[in-house]
Amino acid sequence: MSSWSTVFVTGGAGYIGSHCIVELLDAGYSVIAVDNFANSVNGERGEAPSLKRVERITGKTVTFYQCDLLDKPRLEKIFSEHKIDCVIHFAAMKAVGESMQVPLLYYKNNIVGTINLLEVMKTHGCYQLVFSSSCTVYGNPDVLPITEEHHTGNVTNVYGRTKYFIEEMLKDISAAEKNWNIICLRYFNPVGAHPSGLIGEDPTKAFTNLMPYMAQVAIGNRPNLTIFGGDYNTVDGTGVRDYIHVMDLASGHVAALNKLKKEHLRLKVYNLGLGTGLSVLQLIREFEEVCGESIPYTMGPRRVGDVDSLVCDAGRALTELEWQPKYRIKTMCEDFWRWQTMNPNGYRGNSNNSASSENGRTSVIINGSELMDTDWAQLWEPFVQGGL
């Protein structure tokens, strides 16, 4: 087995990247992270607030650089200053709706940025890569659940096309150059937050995912939720998705690294999801039960590029990566509500004042019960050691 120690993480200050870094640090890796703050909050002096909290959770240090992958000379400089064993590539513009409005921005950022990264990796003899792909590469699927053998390319939105084009590019380079060892992870719909409540999803744009939008309504920061489309061919007319806890997704990346250590795959693709579909209205009801608040909504038109249902078959990852997701939808909702309650303004507010406090103890409502008996610092320890 290879003795890797240092992982380079692009988009490391983002939602999925920051949670993955927790798992990487806990697994014993050193992490060098970069981010241009296109999808994440920028702190003082170019610091990443999410990664400062990752350091609090793990008790370990993250080396961070503010860097855009379009800035190839800066990327080259970072690689020159560190011995990097493997890359996990998250960095991308990622909103389906926005991608249909500004396609050139998506093509340039996602595809050109990836080309720059691959060229710099090759220059420095680093050929180990885990690529953050997406279930959007499947388009509107013919059958459910979706296996990795389902055809790709009939993609319905620009964001998904950038992921598809990058996957095709990775196929070509791995076929042409035997040194490459690449795993593409096709995510379904990550939700939830680290159970400490310290890190979570903090959207920086109006184009946001469903769960943070719901939570903003439940906490009173928004008046109502807009559901995009109520006439899909689903159980209740709203879109059906396969939701996966972000910490399960993070553990999938560590499992992928372990696989690359053991085998020279050239290129392999894995789905990461639970294999259970939930409609928008069903997810709203689950979240209302957890937070004890009503989430009013209005029904809007479909978004261009959305599809009816996306549900995965993750059997290959379960078997070959020896990956096992732990969390179900109730825990996903609980963990995100904890994050939202402790941080109503995300990383841009003072977390000490973002939930009610008394004598250094924090009160958070979960399932109608007030958690106030234990300092959150004490609660973090079991979460860091083994999860719920």
* Burial track 133-160 (b if 16+ CB lie within 10 A, e otherwise): bbbbbbbebeebbbebebebeebbbbbb
Quick one: CA torsion of 254, 255, 258, 259, rounded to 10 degrees?
-140
Residue 365, token pair as written in the block = 């409502």
The answer to whether 149 and 235 are in contact (CB under 8 A) is no
Instruction: Report how far apart the first and last C-alpha atoms of the chain are (Å, whole number).
Output: 30
Which amino acid, residue 268?
K
Residues 6 or more apart whose CB falls under 8 angstroms from that of 204 comprise: 37, 38, 39, 40, 41
271 touches 255 (CB < 8 A): no
Report the SS3 class of residue 33: strand
> Annotated catalytic, 159?
yes
- Residues 15, 127, 159, 187: which is the catalytic one? 159
CA 386 to chain CA centroid, Å, is: 20
Ramachandran class of 367: left when φ > 0, alpha when ψ lies in -120 to 50, beta otherwise = left
Which helix (H) or strand (E) segment holds residue 298: the answer is strand 297-300
DSSP β-ladder status, 240-245 and 309-310:
parallel
For residue 190, give every residue at least 6 positions away whose Cβ sits within 8 Å of its Cβ, in sequence order, or none: 15, 16, 243, 244, 245, 246, 249
DSSP secondary-structure letter at 255? H
Which is nearest to 202 in space by CA: 246, 249, 248?
Answer: 246
Task: Point out the residues that are catalytic.
Answer: 159
